Structure 1
């Protein structure tokens, strides 16, 4: 526990990380947004810091070679120098991702599960439709309304021709 407190204090003093204590689970780290950090964005192409902060021996040698004439550098070395500063090129950032397939698949899975729930409710939850909604019942209801001559002036029966037994045109 003492080692954790010591390392926490050292990290906090370095300014790179701030800590928030959790209840009993331990310590959660949160990046300090006041310190410059690397990001790849199309709308802001120049990050605050280079992609590789600490260089290896080969990378340091390449940086020394960079100080000379660029005509002596090969294309691979120029690309390697670019990738020391940036993680992705604009072509790599603008390359279409396959994320749309995942989103579309998730939508179809959602629709499928919803359809199964609706089908299950129709079969096992909802009662059968009442007989008053069948086509035969509706036809009998229309015939009954015409026989009773309902609303003969401007209503339902006014649209029926009783001599020809058909709807008026």
Structure 2
């Protein structure tokens, strides 16, 4: 049977018994099954009982309570945006941002440290206080 459009059928876990059956427009086979339903249920097969249930209800409780697969879509979108963001950051570093200044190179930093030590900068508590000027190495 096919569910007619604009029906008032509404079933959910909190209200599992809707006022109307799921299928109201029945074909000849389904009408014959509904007539057979009026007799003894011991004469009905399991498949016929399931078919009658499906005429009355859209889902079983197990189907209503099963978990959704929406989390896969959410996680896929999250990873897609992480990847897109990483590509955007890489593109900016390669094509947008200027080169790093020379003052951030290791050679420059080593020369700057040597200059501070040569000038004996902050000899009481700073870098110069931790440098041994006679052995030319850091104090232990």
Structures share a fold, TM > 0.5?
Answer: yes
Three-state SS of the structure 2 residue aligned to 1:87 is coil
CA contact (8 A) 1:131 1:137 kept: yes
Go from structure 1 to structure 2 and tell me whether the alpha carbon gap of 1:70 and 1:144 turns closer, same or farther (over 3 Å shift).
same
Q: Which residue of structure 2 aligns with residue 128 of structure 1?
A: 99
CA contact (8 A) 1:38 1:50 kept: no
RMSD in angstroms over aligned alpha carbons?
2.7
Unaligned runs of 5+ in 1: 1-30
106-115 vs 90-99, which moves further: 90-99
Q: Which string of whole-angstrom CA distances, capped at 9 and with x for unpartnered residues, describes residues 85-116 of structure 1? A: 22223444455555444433333332332222
Instruction: Give TM-score scaled by structure 2 length.
Output: 0.74
> Is 1:149 matched up with 2:120?
yes
Deviation, 1:47, is 4.5
- Count how many residue pairs are aligned between Structure 1 and Structure 2: 134
Q: Which has the higher strand share?
A: 1
- Mapping 1:29-108, distance limit 5 Å: 36-39=8-11, 41=12, 43-44=13-14, 46-48=16-18, 49-95=20-66, 98-108=69-79
Go from structure 1 to structure 2 and tell me whether the alpha carbon gap of 1:45 and 1:167 turns closer, same or farther (over 3 Å shift).
farther
Instruction: Give TM-score scaled by structure 1 length.
Output: 0.64
CA contact (8 A) 1:62 1:81 kept: yes
Q: RCO higher in 1 or 2 (8 Å CA, sep ≥ 6)?
A: 2
Deviation, 1:146, is 1.5
Deviation, 1:59, is 2.3
Unaligned runs of 5+ in 2: 1-5
